[in-house]
Structure 1
Amino acid sequence: MKRRTFIKNAGLATAAFGIPTIVPSSVFGKNAPSNRIQIGQIGCGRIARDHDIPGTWRHANARYIAVSDLDSNRMLDGKNLIENYYSKKEDEASGEIKQYGDFREMLLNKEIDAVVISTPDHWHSQPAMQAAIAGKHVYLQKPTSLTIREGRQLADVVKKTGVKLQLGTQQRSSDQFRIAAELVRNGRIGKLHTVRIGLPGDPPGPEAPAMPVPKNLNYDMWLGSTPEVPYTEIGVHPQEGYGRPGWLRINQFGAGMITGWGQHHFDSAAWGMDTELTGPRYIEAVAEFPRSGLWNVHGDFMVKAEYDNGIHMFTSGGYPNGIRYEGTEGWIWVSRGNYVASSSDPVAQGESAKALDASDPTILTSVIGPNEIHLQKSSEHHGNWLGAIQGENELLSPIEIGHRSCSVCLVSHIAMQLGRKLEWDPVSERFVNDDEANTYLSREQRAPYGTNYVKM
């Protein structure tokens, strides 16, 4: 059998799935070399270098052994970054990091226990599904999926395989977001009735003529399940450096900031609203979209969501970046403060520097009693994932919660495009009596790429 055919069959049409084999840390000790979690990195770009790789290697119970990227220059940079880090640690044995130009080949490596997926948005659900089928635990950058259908497909596969998949909604591991949600859930601002979320939009971009595809980039596979379009550097990622990539601003590969940052805030808000496993009943939106240029995701916008529990949630770039919970007896504000996930985060820190605030400062010092609601604590999101793999704690951002928070982003984006009020059924995950809106729940996928071609 030819190598290419073997990889395709193993990655896209697996008949049986692997079983996770991590031994509980109590057997040998979680940091014992024989029990370290062997990690493969899929995607070696900006968010991987600034956030996911450092967030993973800092934990002694994990060890990177492989990298994969469709850009061979970035893959080599990722390999060198990791090897240089380990070479400076006295307690780490030196070893070469393996490179895989095709992540599906990486998934065949039985030495790899888990993968971190830091790819563009249109390459999230498929590799996560294939990793789960191969028995690898997964840390997946948000957004969970490009469409509602993709997200449901991924959630179902993860549940069937039993792997530990953590969504990269790391705000849950920041104390202020947990504290705010706990205070709201325990009635410190009375009955919650309104949530206001600030998210930026993106600017329009220039026209971009077609360019020759760099020899170091597998552009056909990079496009993945999306349509074939000419290559241009500002539509993919910089060939020099690791600045903010242009694909983030193209609808073909995502939805702009409503998913790019929206899943973080919608996830955190749902924690305080107690709506983590459901979604809004009604959704309506207005938004500006560029009329020309390569970058075509939304700019200024306003979304209103109505929940069955009576809460109204408003999201707009006109609010400061963060979340404001409003109740009958006061309000609580929470933001990232001075935290940044990458050096090119699109919002100036000064605009949301105050991490936690309230209408009455004594709200923030209120003690949550032993018989009240206590939300799960985590000091670091990648560490929470690693601990869950070794049986030490529960996942903080499991797949179903991740799928639901991403779904709020996606139905908001659909409402932006249609410009009218929609009724959403979070149980069936379909719009009510609206055939046109339901056509937006999935996208055509370009074979052989896409979640529709992944088989159990």
Structure 2
Amino acid sequence: MQRRKFINRTTLGAAALVGFPSIVPAHVLGKDAPSNKINIGQIGCGRIARDHDIYDTIRFKDARYVAVCDVDSKRASNAKGLVDNFYNAKTGKENYMDAKVYDDYREMLLNKDIDAVVISTPDHWHSQPAMEAALAGKDIYLQKPTSLTVSEGQQLREAVQSKNVILQVGTQQRAMPQFRVAAELVRNGRIGDIHTVKIGLPGDPAGPVAPEMPIPSNLNFDMWLGSTPEVPYTEIGVHPQNDYSRPGWLRQRNYGAGMITGWGQHHYDSAAWGMNTELTGPSSVEALAEFPKSGLWNVHGDFFVKHEYDNGITVYTSGGYTNGIRYEGTEGWIFVSRGAYTASASDPVDQEKSAKALNASDPSILASVIGENEIHLEKIDDQHGNWLDCIKTRKQPISPIEKGHKACTICLISDIAMHFDRKLQWDPKNEIFLNDEEANAMLHREQRKPYGTDYIRI
């Protein structure tokens, strides 16, 4: 079943009573009995959840969605309809599933029947529920960016590692074969000694001035704000009330850093795969960026970032490059991108410029076969499927917390560098700027009580 068909078939108008998941006798499904499945709760039921995470998880036989949660009751109800109707259609039994609806994920985490959670919330609500899920012993699929700040990411990493839960970061380019092939070719010297990487990543436009509006009765706006500053409500600053198009919070610094974190974690993670720097980071960062002078949207527009690594590789990132990753070596280059792929219907992808998924300075490079004794990178077919497999085997997934945190940190220090007219020296092991208290102050943000990772005991 294709994603779009799934959404069309599970219409928004599904009516069902809110209650605990149905208990189905084992003989009904045999090997597919509920007792053999991973019971999953969905935290955040917006655009990415509907277009990507719910479908890409629920379709696996090992997954059993039993609960949904959102601070917007309309979105939570719609997600329940998607889940219930999926199982009704799959089993041919009306009211087979009666997914539980929560308005506070912390109540969901108290449900001992739930084994794992998928977190598809806005960026400022990634680390805290992931930390609390880890402390509750739940396995986690976490949308990128991993954290709003470097400090949050460190706290999340500690919680996940201390509790030994399986956390998969949603950097699904690792499941796209062209990114693995490109990284393997680079790692095995097919373009000689790599010295430069160029990453294409767009910026965001300025936005309109938005008037204060009444808070919709279906939205818990205080909890939506979470640890961020209290501000007046306006619909364009949160998410649309009548559809699931691209939300305005993506372009506000209170809730993220714009495209440098929104798509940046994907590309920095993939580039690190090819550079063999997944567990480290650059030793310096410097940047130029334009920021809007008025309007509600205030994340970076046009920008240029330079990272230098101790292994001699320099990474440049800009909207002036074609969206994707270009590895340059002493004997040629390889370019890789998603091609025409989009994670959601409203992704701002230029289809014409994104059509070529894998290219090289010489076609023979791409035809090269990786030998038995050469470097072979981990191969998976699906990011969500890999997570489910690892929940069962207890092996680390392809995008574990440490790699996710390191990739996200590169995004975050890039954003910090955009605010300084100087080169910043970075210590990737200790995750701190060298001799720069002003820059280090931006590794953490003040958190509005009672929300925030600072108030969670590990």
Question: Could you state the TM-score of these two structures normalised by the residue count of structure 1?
Answer: 0.92
Change (3 A) 1:451 1:369: same
Cα offset, 1:377, TM superposition: 0.5
SS of the aligned residue for 2:148 comes to coil
One-letter identity of the residue aligned with 1:351: K
Cα offset, 1:33, TM superposition: 3.2
Cα offset, 1:419, TM superposition: 2.7
SS of the aligned residue for 2:304 comes to strand
More displaced 10-residue stretch of structure 1: 342-351 or 138-147: 342-351
Which residue of structure 1 aligns with residue 248 of structure 2? 246
Asked if 1:264 is matched to 2:248, the reply is no
Give the Cα separation in 2 of the matches to 1:419 and 1:259: 20
Tell me which stretches of 4 or more aligned residues in structure 1 moved more than 6 Å: none
SS of the aligned residue for 1:352 comes to coil
Q: Percent identity?
A: 69
Give the Cα separation in 2 of the matches to 1:90 and 1:451: 41
Counterpart of 1:290 (choices 289, 292, 298) is: 292
Which residue of structure 1 aligns with residue 414 of structure 2? 412
Which residue of structure 2 aligns with residue 98 of structure 1? 100
Deviations 1:222-272 (A, max 9, x none): 000000000000000000100000000000000000000000000000000
Give the Cα separation in 1 of the matches to 2:278 and 2:401: 11
Give the Cα separation in 1 of the matches to 2:359 and 2:115: 41
Counterpart of 1:328 (choices 330, 333, 345) is: 330
Counterpart of 2:347 (choices 345, 348, 370) is: 345
Q: Which runs of structure 2 are paired with 1:197-216 in the superposition (5 Å)?
A: 197-216=199-218
Which residue of structure 2 aligns with residue 230 of structure 1? 232
SS of the aligned residue for 1:214 comes to coil
Give the Cα separation in 1 of the matches to 2:73 and 2:34: 30
SS of the aligned residue for 2:305 comes to strand
Deviations 1:302-321 (A, max 9, x none): 00000000000000000010
Which residue of structure 2 aligns with residue 122 of structure 1? 124
Counterpart of 1:133 (choices 115, 132, 135) is: 135
Give the Cα separation in 1 of the matches to 2:370 and 2:32: 34
Give the Cα separation in 1 of the matches to 2:355 and 2:51: 20
Cα offset, 1:392, TM superposition: 7.4
Cα offset, 1:91, TM superposition: 7.3
One-letter identity of the residue aligned with 1:35: N
SS of the aligned residue for 2:90 comes to coil
Deviations 1:94-123 (A, max 9, x none): 120000000000000011000000000000
One-letter identity of the residue aligned with 1:238: P
Deviations 1:349-400 (A, max 9, x none): 2211100000011111111111111100110100000000000754000000
Which residue of structure 2 aligns with residue 147 of structure 1? 149
Deviations 1:388-414 (A, max 9, x none): 000075400000000000000000000
One-letter identity of the residue aligned with 1:285: A
Structure ranking higher on relative contact order (CA contacts 8 Å, 6+ apart): 1
Report the RMSD for the aligned CA atoms in angstroms: 1.3
Which residue of structure 1 aligns with residue 308 of structure 2? 306
Asked if 1:277 is matched to 2:279, the reply is yes
One-letter identity of the residue aligned with 1:241: D
Cα offset, 1:90, TM superposition: 2.6
Any stretches of 5+ residues in structure 2 without a counterpart? 1-29
Contact 1:32–1:61, Cα closer than 8 Å, also in 2? no
Give the Cα separation in 2 of the matches to 1:53 and 1:240: 20
Give the Cα separation in 2 of the matches to 1:30 and 1:125: 35
Asked if 1:64 is matched to 2:73, the reply is no
Contact 2:140–2:167, Cα closer than 8 Å, also in 1? yes
Which residue of structure 2 aligns with residue 318 of structure 1? 320
Which residue of structure 2 aligns with residue 26 of structure 1? none
One-letter identity of the residue aligned with 1:88: A
Contact 2:166–2:396, Cα closer than 8 Å, also in 1? no
One-letter identity of the residue aligned with 1:57: I
